[in-house]
Structure 1
Amino acid sequence: MSGAIAPCPGNWEYEHVVNFNEYLTSRSTRILQVLRSADNTQKESFATDTRLLHGALFFGLTPPYFDYYAGHYRGEKFRCLDAYEVQVSGDPRVGHQAVTVPMEMVQMGLQVGNVVNQLDFHFGVPSKIFSKEDKLLRAIELAAALFVYFLEVHPYANGNGHMGRFLLQSLLGRYGLYFNANFNMHPRPKDPAYTSAISQYRNGNKGPLHVLLLNCL
């Protein structure tokens, strides 16, 4: 740019980068390997703030001169990212205003802690009192609620689905629950079931998403 300031790039589409699929597939595999070897404190930390992993996953896949789009929320104090607005599939509930995102993610981090406390309690209760099946269902219910809210906020300029699925896996992984190949960070789970389940959840029907997640464990 020879000293010129690059204009805001508009919508960030990592798919425009050559070999993006290979990069994301290999990086996702590595990140999930790191997650499995992490202790429970680290897994909670990963779920509380996904920015470090977002940066690792999307490094080199951002628009030229805007490498900070990877690893930072919309609304943070970076040029163009501070006012980056998104809308997904025409649903006005998805994509909160950039100015509110950083504080909303702080609050969501606190909710992650609340969920962990609840699940630690449930999984610590003897199975003859609270069965393994009941524990599993409770974990899915609480994790799914955080997942859908994360996607509603849509904190990143791109890669929100990847990080939402990583958040889910970080939480559930604390209790030895890991998804199979049908629910990876990358590639995206198959449609129409995946998108439909999320949409139905937002509209009050939580069952399809719960069933989808259970079937992928």
Structure 2
Amino acid sequence: MCPEHAHFCKCSNWDYEKFDGIGKRSKVYARSVALLADLKNSKIDRKKALANTRTTHVRLFSGLAKAGCEYFVGNFRGSQKCLKEYEVVINTANGVVSTTAPSHVAAEMAALSNEIEGDLTALADAGGPEALETKDDLVNWLDVALERMVRFLSIHPYANGNGHISRFMMFCYLSAVGVWPESWPLDDHPPYPYDEAIAAFRNNYPDGLRDFLLKYIVWEPKVSNS
């Protein structure tokens, strides 16, 4: 419920697709292509983009909210106006999954941002992409990235667009070690069994999601695992 309206919040159930084009006429599609081009060409600071996803959320979804609800773009649930009490649940094949309460979103995102900054600092201190020599090294880095991505989705900080941001996070983590997952989608939702693999990951079964992502990665280790 929106604190500014006793019985109704006009911004509830924000769906950016109602304000977007279809297919290649989609603004989000075009913005996704441009965003990835900038990341690939080193025009985006990965650490800053990962630590503060709000900038990317604005870039993707600006102008795609109802009049008077523009603040839904680039702001967390719990932050202001109708977002103050904006609850989100995720419907899955295995039932409904709750997300972080609006009042806790900012604190949980701050903690996640600190961990992400720590990941990238540790990578840089270890030598950057050169630190990954074996397939095991890549898998270990991927596991860190997946944990951060799934936690982001569990927090679900935005009223909409969380999937796009989570997939962009994966592009950032992988490109940080010199890997570019060419067929990993940003605008499109990944196919089955992506959602099921995320659910399993939340229940401490990471193999399915890891294997799903590895299908999108082409990478030659410098050293074979012994």
TM-score in terms of structure 2 length: 0.83
- Structure 1 residue 120, shift from structure 2 partner: 3.5
Change (3 A) 1:124 1:19: closer
Over the matched positions of the two proteins, sequence identity in percent amounts to 28
Measured in 2, the distance between the counterparts of 1:112 and 1:103 equals 14
Structure 1 residue aligned with 2:55:
52
Measured in 1, the distance between the counterparts of 2:130 and 2:41 equals 26
Structure 2 residue aligned with 1:164:
166
Say which of 9, 23, 26 aligns to 2:27.
23
Deviation track 1:47-87 (CA, whole Å, cap 9, x = no partner) reads 111100101100111122111111111111x2101221111
Structure 2 residue aligned with 1:215:
215
- Structure 1 residue 122, shift from structure 2 partner: 5.2
How many residues matched? 207
Structure 1 residue aligned with 2:106:
102
- Structure 1 residue 134, shift from structure 2 partner: 2.0
Matched residue type, 2:148:
L
Change (3 A) 1:158 1:53: same
- Structure 1 residue 100, shift from structure 2 partner: 0.6
Where do 1:55-204 residues align within 5 Å? 55-76=58-79, 78-89=80-91, 93-121=97-125, 131-181=133-183, 183-190=184-191, 192-204=192-204
Measured in 2, the distance between the counterparts of 1:45 and 1:137 equals 24
Change (3 A) 1:43 1:83: same
Matched residue type, 1:44:
K
Measured in 2, the distance between the counterparts of 1:200 and 1:72 equals 29
Measured in 2, the distance between the counterparts of 1:165 and 1:193 equals 15
Q: CA RMSD in A?
A: 2.3
- Structure 1 residue 132, shift from structure 2 partner: 2.6
Please list every run of 5 or more consecutive structure 2 residues that lacks an aligned counterpart in the other structure.
218-226
Measured in 1, the distance between the counterparts of 2:194 and 2:117 equals 26
Please list every run of 5 or more consecutive structure 1 residues that lacks an aligned counterpart in the other structure.
none
TM-score in terms of structure 1 length: 0.86
Measured in 1, the distance between the counterparts of 2:139 and 2:43 equals 23
Change (3 A) 1:94 1:146: farther
- Structure 1 residue 8, shift from structure 2 partner: 3.2
- Structure 1 residue 170, shift from structure 2 partner: 1.2
Measured in 2, the distance between the counterparts of 1:92 and 1:7 equals 23
Contact conserved, 1:44 with 1:171, CA < 8 A, in 2? no
Deviation track 1:87-131 (CA, whole Å, cap 9, x = no partner) reads 11166654210111011111111010222234345556977xx73
Measured in 2, the distance between the counterparts of 1:72 and 1:198 equals 24
